[in-house]
């Protein structure tokens, strides 16, 4: 009898936290109690496969298919343009920065990338190998049209 | 002047009166070891990161930038210190570089880059010196660790492998041609090849 009580207590104490974890209110903090420090999630790996990805919609800035650790983009230098600038694509064989980036806000085409498009990672980002936090139910225009 | 030289030569040339041949040869030998040892010890002491960052010019500018780059902190904990990249490892080349560095001592004494502003103003020239040096010796200091013979390009990303195969294997380019600003921030790159 005593053994059964102990077993039952152990089981219930073991089960209690999981039951709590299931019905918590969704917050950025997660199920960690306020007086505890949650452990940081692991730093995800950058997808570095150099393969072009399909865009979800025509205006989408393509994501960067390679790692860009320590790429300097400032007044002095632009590491991205060291490969993607028109003059550099011959040697680097990287895709050229689209001509739309040469336009100033009045639609005038400049000789090179317009200052307002200079900071590449304002729109173009790397991808991490992570599970999406929420489900994405985006459907592209072709799918909508074919319905 | 000529007279003085003559007396000096006579003193130098005359056989020793008070000291034995054994004392002179052995003494000379031991003194040689001490002098040579001291010279090399001092030389090696100036060849450490601790020595480099003992000046605020290095500590507050370039060393601060090195932190956080892959040559300072990385997954395996192997790291490069200042002299690994900036001083040749071979003795003769090292001495040549050290003699050049006397100009840097001059710069230190007269405060050529003793403020952040002065440093930034000189940055393009200083970086240019290092690029030229590495270009001239075929990126020797890079290759001390990154030996192309033992580079497994199948373990590299596709674009890195392609670039290394095309430009490095053929000898058309050397490391520094593409890998500028990997350990420090870049100066104004307008007009620099590859930017």
pLDDT, residue B183, reads 93
Specify the number of domains making up chain A. 1
* ipTM of predicted assembly, 2 dp: 0.77
- C-alpha A119/C-alpha A76 separation (Å) is 12
Contact A72/B186 with Cβ under 8 angstroms?
yes
Q: Could you give the CA distance from residue B77 to residue B99 in angstroms, rounded to a whole number?
A: 32
pLDDT tier, B59 (very low <50, low <70, confident <90, very high otherwise): very high
Distance from C-alpha of B69 to C-alpha of A71, rounded to nearest angstrom: 11
The pLDDT tens digits for A73-117 are 999 999 999 999 999 999 988 999 999 999 999 999 999 999 999
Q: Which residue of B has its CA nearest to A70?
A: B69
Q: Enter the pTM of the model.
A: 0.78
Q: Which residues have CB under 8 Å from B51's CB, separation 6+? A: B45
Q: Which residues span the domain enclosing A61?
A: 42-130
* B71 CB neighbour count, 10 Å cutoff: 18
Domain ranges, ordered by start, for chain B:
20-52, 55-187
Any CB–CB contact under 8 A between B165 and chain A? no
d(C-alpha A106, C-alpha A15), whole Å: 64
* Interface touch A77/B181, C-beta < 8 Å: yes
Indicate the residue of B69, B70, B158 with minimum beta-carbon distance to A50: B158
Predicted local confidence at residue A17, as pLDDT? 46
Tell me the C-alpha to C-alpha distance, in Å, between residue B34 and each of B37, B48, B63: 5, 22, 34
Structural domain includes residue A23? no
Q: How far apart are CA A48 and CA B40, in angstroms?
A: 46
Q: Report how far residue A95's alpha carbon sits from residue B45's, in angstroms, rounded to the nearest whole number.
A: 48
* Nearest-by-Cβ selection for B157 from A50, A81, A82: A50
How far apart CA A21 and CA A38 sit, in angstroms, is 13
For all residues of chain A together, what is the average pLDDT? 84
- Average pLDDT estimate for B24-31: 94
Question: What pLDDT, in 10s, does the model give residues A55-72?
Answer: 999 999 999 999 998 899
Confidence of residue A42 (pLDDT cuts 50, 70, 90): confident
Cross-chain residue pair A82–B194, CB shorter than 8 Å = yes
Partner-chain contact B185 A72, CB within 8 Å: yes
Determine the Cα angle at B49 with ends B44 and B55, to 5°.
105
Give the residue-averaged pLDDT of A11-36. 64
Flag whether A109 is in a domain.
yes
- Whether residue A141 is contained in a domain is answered as no
Q: Enumerate the residues of chain A whose CB falls inside 8 A of the CB of residue B195.
A: 77-78, 81-82
pLDDT at B15: 85
Check whether B72 has a pLDDT greater than 70.
yes
Residue A60 lies in a domain: yes
8 Å CB contact between B168 and B148: yes
Condensed to tens digits (0 to 9), the pLDDT of residues B92-109 reads 889 999 998 888 899 999
Best mutation target among A43, A45, A72 (most B Cβ atoms within 10 Å) is: A72
In a domain, A101, yes or no: yes
Higher-confidence residue of B133 and A6: namely: B133
**CATH number of the domain that A50 lies in?**
1.10.1130.10
Which residues from A are below 8 Å from B188, CB to CB? 75-77
- Of B83, B6, B79, the closest CA to residue B50 belongs to B83
A72 → closest Cβ in B68, B70, B181: B181
Residues of chain B with pLDDT > 90, as a percent, come to 75
| Interface contact A78-B185, CB threshold 8 A | no
Q: What angle do CA B167, B170, B174 make, to 5 degrees?
A: 55
Three-state secondary structure string covering A79-142: CCHHHHCHHHHHHHCCCCCCHHHHECCCCCECCCCCHHHCCHHHCCCECECCCCCCCCCCCCHH
Residue B178 clears pLDDT 60, i.e. is over it: yes
Band of residue B67 on the pLDDT scale cut at 50, 70, 90 = very high
> What is the Cα–Cα distance from A76 to B180, expressed in whole angstroms?
13
For residue B5, name the pLDDT band (cuts at 50, 70, 90). very high
Set of chain A residues whose Cβ sits within 8 Å of the Cβ of B185: 72, 76
Cβ–Cβ of B195/A50 closer than 8 Å?
no
Contact call for B182 and A70, based on CB within 8 A: yes
Residue B77: count of CB within 10 angstroms of its CB:
6
Candidates B167, B173, B189, partner chain A, best to mutate (most A CBs within 10 A)? B189
């Amino acid at each position: 009898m005593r053994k059964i009580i102990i077993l039952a207590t152990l089981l219930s104490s073991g089960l209690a936290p999981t039951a709590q974890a299931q019905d918590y209110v969704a917050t950025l903090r997660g199920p960690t109690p306020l007086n505890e420090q949650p452990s940081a999630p692991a730093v995800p790996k950058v997808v570095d496969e150099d393969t072009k990805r399909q865009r979800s919609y025509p205006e989408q800035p393509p994501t960067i298919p390679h790692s860009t650790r320590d790429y300097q983009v400032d007044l002095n230098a632009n590491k991205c343009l060291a490969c993607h600038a028109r003059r550099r694509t011959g040697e680097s064989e990287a895709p050229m920065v689209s001509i739309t980036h040469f336009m100033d806000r009045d639609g005038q085409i400049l000789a090179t990338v317009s200052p307002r498009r200079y900071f590449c990672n304002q729109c173009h980002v790397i991808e991490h190998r992570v599970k999406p936090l929420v489900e994405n139910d985006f459907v592209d225009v072709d799918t909508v049209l074919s319905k | 002047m000529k007279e003085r030289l003559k007396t000096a030569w006579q003193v130098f040339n005359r056989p020793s009166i008070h000291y034995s041949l054994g004392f002179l040869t052995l003494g000379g030998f031991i003194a040689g070891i001490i002098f040579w040892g001291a010279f090399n010890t001092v030389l090696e002491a100036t060849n450490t990161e601790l020595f480099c960052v003992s000046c605020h010019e290095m500590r507050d500018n370039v060393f601060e930038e090195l932190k956080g780059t892959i040559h300072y902190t990385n997954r395996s904990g192997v790291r490069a210190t200042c002299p690994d990249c900036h001083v040749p490892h071979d003795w003769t080349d090292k001495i040549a570089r050290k003699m050049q560095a006397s100009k840097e001592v001059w710069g230190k004494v007269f405060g050529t880059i003793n403020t952040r502003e002065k440093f930034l103003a000189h940055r393009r020239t200083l970086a240019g010196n290092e690029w030229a040096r590495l270009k001239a010796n075929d990126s020797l200091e890079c290759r001390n660790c990154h030996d192309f013979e033992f580079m497994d390009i199948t373990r590299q990303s596709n674009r890195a492998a392609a670039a290394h195969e095309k430009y490095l294997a053929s000898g058309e380019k050397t490391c520094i041609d593409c890998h500028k600003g990997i350990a420090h921030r870049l100066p104004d790159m307008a007009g620099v090849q590859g930017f």
